[in-house]
Amino acid sequence: MGAPARRPRVGVIGAGPGGIAMGIQLARAGYDFTIFERGDGFGGTWRNNTYPGAACDVPSHFYSFSFALNPYWSKTFANQPEILAYLEKVAEDHGLGPHLRANTSVTELRWSDADSRWTIDTEHGDRHEVDIVVSAVGMLDVPNIPDIPGRERFGGRVFHSSRWDHSTSTAGERVASIGTGASAVQYVPAIAAETEHLTIFQRTPIWVAPRIDDPFTTEQQELFANDPAEALKALGGAAVVLATAGNSSAMAATVGGISPKGELVTVGVTPEPLPISPIQLITPGVSIVGHPSGTAKEIEDTMHFALLSGVRAWIEELPLSQAAEGYATLEQGRAHYRTVLTM
């Protein structure tokens, strides 16, 4: 009898949720594989994004591996530290540690027709030969910093939300936040109360639906552990909100959600012009509803509207057109900021 066929050797690039899932399946099938990760451990985006208020915008029980359900989520939408801990535990429980090469960026991939193999080069000068390469690098892992004229002369701090500068607090500072996407909707309410003033610069208004983020009791967690189907029942209200948010036609008439009492809560959206207010500025006009469902991500958040009804934050639709020492310039005037955040 001949020698048994050699299983293909696999290189996985990225140790986030995708890399973890792939590693577990490869380990179960008995493959020889290595996971290359430029960060210092498992977790991917949940290791990189540590900005204040970072949390999942999908209900926690939906944001779990089907083969590693977690009945002990602390609340409906888990925060970043809890999600990272979950991912690290899943990787540990499935023995992925020995397969991880952390702090190792892949710099080049080359395919050889002659050898039918890939060559992987890393930043350390290492070279690895594999039969199969799996990319699990994610979609949005490289920060996009706006090219604002004069940015290099700005005397304050400028950083991206995914590279949050924890060395100095934003408390007491005048802060400019550029963008109103999923990250901004989370960190803006988290820092606004302690800033001297916070201005939010937006290009396109977003849909913001209510987020019902109730904590789970110990009794509920034990019920989820004994009967996983109950976890999905408990998230029925959140599921309705997600379904409504994903339906552009429904959003034309209402932004809605489920109250803690199970009541349907709706906020009407009108095509008629209204006096300018923070709420109007972050609510898209009806014209956006003509876009196919899913082309613009709808955000779930409870604090965003409440924050903008206060006095510490304001939506600015004018472009942040120029930066210089100690101030940023708008198309219609000048405003002074200490810190500029982008997302």
Q: What is the tens place of the pLDDT at every residue in 119-149?
A: 999 999 999 999 999 999 988 778 887 777 7
- Who contacts 40 (Cβ-Cβ below 8 Å, separation ≥6)? 47, 102, 103
Question: Which residues, 6+ apart, have CB-to-CB distance to 319 below 8 Å?
Answer: 201, 330, 331
Residue 323 pLDDT: 52
**How many whole angstroms separate alpha carbon 64 and alpha carbon 87?**
9
pLDDT beneath 70, residues of the chain: 1-4, 206-209, 232, 234-343
Cα–Cα distance, 137 to 198 (Å, whole number): 33
Burial class (CB in 10 A: 0-12, 13-18, 19+), 140: exposed
- Reported pTM: 0.77
How far apart are the C-alpha atoms of 180 and 161, rounded to whole Å?
Answer: 12
Supply the pLDDT for residue 305: 47
pLDDT of residue 142: 81
Task: List, in sequence order, every beta strand (DSSP E) within the chain.
Answer: 9-13, 32-36, 100-101, 106-112, 117-122, 127-130, 132-135, 157-160, 174-178, 197-201, 208-209, 254-258, 264-268, 299-300, 313-316, 320-324, 327-330, 333-336, 339-342
Question: Residue 61: phi, psi to the nearest 5?
Answer: -70, -25
For residue 50, the model assigns a pLDDT of: 96
Domains defined along the chain, listed by start: 9-135 (3.50.50.60), 151-210+245-342 (3.50.50.60)
Q: Give me the pLDDT at residue 339, please.
A: 67
Query: Residue 312: in which H helix or E strand, if any?
Result: none
What pLDDT, on a 0 to 100 scale, did the predictor assign at position 180? 80
